[in-house]
Amino acid sequence: YPLDLLLTREYILVFLLHILQVGFIYRVIRLFIQRKQDRYSFDRYRDISFLRLIEAFLESAPQLLLQLYVVVVEEITDPTRKVVTALAVVISMISLSLAIADYTSAGKDIIYYDPPPNRVRKPRLSWNGYLLIILWQIGMIVSRSLAISLFASEYGYYIFIMA
C-alpha cells in the first residue's frame, strides 16, 4: 500500500478504533451497512474473520489450556466450581472452533465469488458443511489441548522447553 493510502481518514479512524478495542465492531457494522456482493465486501468479511481468528487464538486458546490444566492438576470438590469450570472449558472450545470455522468459510466464500481462471464456480458452504467443520475443529482442539495440559501436569516447567 502506498503511504498516502494508509494516511487517509478512514484508515486512521480504523487504527484508532482498534487501539480503543472497538475496531472489530466498526468493521462489522460497516459491512452490514454496505450490503453488497462484490469482491470488496468479501475481502472485508475475510478480514473480519481473520481478526476473529486472531482474537480466538490470543484469548480462548490460552484460557482453554489454563482451565484444562487446573482441571487435571487440582481436585475440585465444590460442585458449583466443577460446573463453572466445565462450562468455561466448553465455551472456550466452542469459541475457538467457531472462529476457525468462520475463517474457513470466509476463504471458501472468496473462491465462490471470484474463482481462479479456468475453474468452475463451486457452491457456497452449506450449514451442514459448516457444522461438520465446527465438529472437526472441536475434535482437533480437544485432543491437542488435552495433550498439552496432560504433558504440562506431568512434566511441569518442561513444557516451556518443548514450546
> Cα(47)–Cα(130) distance, rounded to whole angstroms?
19
User: Which run of H or of E encompasses 105?
Assistant: helix 79-113
- Is the per-residue pLDDT at 2 higher than 70? no
The reported pLDDT for the residue numbered 160 is 62
- Judged against a pLDDT cut of 70, whether residue 111 lies above it is answered with no
Q: Pick left, alpha or beta for residue 10 (phi over 0 → left; psi -120 to 50 → alpha; otherwise beta).
A: alpha
pLDDT in tens, 6-48: 567 777 888 888 888 888 788 888 877 876 666 677 777 888 8
pLDDT at position 3:
55
Tell me the residue type at 93.
M
Check whether 100 has a pLDDT greater than 80: yes
pLDDT at 87: 92
Query: 161 pLDDT exceeds 70?
Result: no
Q: CA separation (Å) from 133 to 76, 109, 140?
A: 33, 15, 11
Instruction: Dump strand ranges (E) for 6-127.
Output: none
- Looking at residue 91, its pLDDT comes to 92
Query: How large is the average pLDDT for residues 142-163?
Result: 78
The answer to whether residues 55 and 136 touch, using CB atoms and an 8 Å cutoff, is no
Q: For residue range 38-90, list pLDDT tens digits in order.
A: 667 777 788 888 888 998 899 888 889 888 888 888 888 888 988 998 899 99
The dihedrals phi and psi of 162, each to the nearest 5 degrees, come to: -70, -35
Which pLDDT belongs to residue 69? 86
CB atoms within 10 A of CB 134: 18
Alpha carbons 123 and 129: distance in angstroms, whole number: 11
Q: Are 9 and 18 in contact (CB under 8 A)?
A: no
**156 three-class SS:** coil
CA–CA dist 31, 108 (Å, integer)? 18
| Confidence at residue 162, expressed as pLDDT on a 0 to 100 scale | 58
